[in-house]
Amino acid sequence: MSKNTPAEDSFRRTDESFDVNVILKVLVTLSEEKQEIIKLRFWGDLKFSEIAKMLNKNEAAIKKMFYRTIDELKNKLK
């Protein structure tokens, strides 16, 4: 049995699935920094600490921006 990461669970919906193309279209409307954090977390499969080091920011700031960005994406996908 595969265990999902919180990042994967953030987009999980019980009533329908998201079209990846729709998500990517919405993703490009975000700032480059937000896009980079999302891409590094999902596609790069990096930990928050690794992303923070790459972007020269503290881990708490990266986590906060990541989860706020997830909420922003969810609202845009409604």
Predicted structure pTM score: 0.73
Chain segment 16-72, per-residue pLDDT in tens: 566 888 888 999 999 999 999 999 999 999 999 999 999 999 999 999 999 999 999
Pairwise CA distance, residues 57 & 36, whole Å: 13
- In the CATH scheme, what architecture does the domain 30-78 have? Orthogonal Bundle (1.10)
